[in-house]
Amino acid sequence: MQQSRLSHADAALPPSFPTDPTNPLTHLGTLLPGHDHSDLIRRLGAGFQGCQFLGGAREAKEAHADQSVTILHAKVAQKSYGNEKRFFCPPPCVYIGGHGWRGYGDSVYRICGYMCLDTSNQTQADTFKLVFDEQPNSKRLFACAKSLFISDQDKRKHFCLLLQLFLGNRQEVGSFQSRMIKVISKPSQKRQSMKNADLCISSFSKVALFNRLRSQTVSTRYLSVDRGAFIASARQWTAFTITMGNCATGGFVLSEGFICYGSVVQLVCTESGLALPPMVIRKVNKQHAILDVDEPISQLHKCAFQFRDSPNAYLCLTNDTIIQYQAPSSIRDSSRVVLNEGSCWTIIGVEVVEFTFNQGLTCLQSPVSPFPVITGLEVNGGGHVAMLEIHGENFSPHIKMLFGNCEAETMFKSPKSLLCVIPDVSVYSDGWRCLRRIITLPLSLIRTDGLIYRSSYSFTYTPELHLPPPTRGAAGGREGGADRGQEDEEDILLETIHQEFTRTNFHLFIQS
pLDDT digits (tens, 9 = 90+) for 51-92: 333 334 444 445 568 999 999 999 999 999 888 889 999 999
The pLDDT of residue 333 is 82
For residue 27, which amino acid is it? H
pLDDT for 355 beyond 90: yes
Q: What percent of the chain has pLDDT over 90?
A: 49
Q: What is the largest CA-CA distance in the chain?
A: 101
Q: What is the DSSP letter of 154?
A: -
CATH of 64-186, one of 3.40.50.300, 2.60.40.1450, 3.40.640.10, 3.30.70.2610: 2.60.40.1450
Distance CA 175, CA 162 (A): 7
pLDDT for 140 beyond 80: yes
356: closest CA among 265, 290, 453, 422?
A: 453
The pLDDT of residue 452 is 95
CATH superfamily, region 370-463+505-509:
Immunoglobulins (2.60.40.10)
Phi, psi torsion values for 92, nearest 5 degrees: -60, 135
Kindly list the domain boundaries of the chain, sorted by start residue. 64-186, 192-349, 370-463+505-509
Average pLDDT over residues 238-256: 80
Q: Which residue has the higher pLDDT, 384 or 341?
A: 341
Exposure string for 278-311, b = 16+ CB within 10 A, e = fewer: bbbbbbbeeebbbbebeebbbbbbbbbbbbbeee
Question: Is residue 432 classed as helix, strand or coil in its secondary structure?
Answer: helix
Average pLDDT over residues 294-304: 94
Phi, psi torsion values for 257, nearest 5 degrees: 115, 175
Enumerate residues 6+ apart whose C-beta is below 8 A from 358.
62, 63, 65, 66, 67, 100, 451, 452, 454
Question: Is residue 1 classed as helix, strand or coil in its secondary structure?
Answer: coil
Q: How confident is the model at residue 260 (pLDDT cuts 50, 70, 90)?
A: very high
Whole-angstrom Cα Rg for the chain? 28
Average pLDDT over the chain reads: 79
Q: How confident is the model at residue 136 (pLDDT cuts 50, 70, 90)?
A: confident
Alpha-carbon separation of residue 144 from 96, 233, 345 (angstroms) = 12, 13, 21
The pLDDT of residue 508 is 55
Alpha-carbon separation of residue 251 from 10, 273, 309, 396 (angstroms) = 10, 19, 11, 50
Alpha-helical runs (H) found in 243-360: none
Asked if 192-349 and 370-463+505-509 have one fold, the answer is: no
Average pLDDT over residues 223-241: 94
User: What does 120-170 look like in DSSP terms, one character per residue?
Assistant: TT--GGG-EEEE-EEPTTSS-EEEE-TT--B-TT---SEE-EEEEEE-TTS
Question: Is residue 108 classed as helix, strand or coil in its secondary structure?
Answer: helix
Question: Is residue 198 classed as helix, strand or coil in its secondary structure?
Answer: helix
Average pLDDT over residues 460-480: 54
Q: What percent of the chain has pLDDT over 70?
A: 71
Instruction: Report the top-level CATH class of 192-349.
Output: mainly beta
Q: How confident is the model at residue 337 (pLDDT cuts 50, 70, 90)?
A: very high
**Could you tell me if 345 and 301 are in contact, meaning their C-beta atoms sit under 8 angstroms apart?**
no
Average pLDDT over residues 207-233: 89
Least confident of 21-35, 53-67, 357-371, 477-491: 21-35
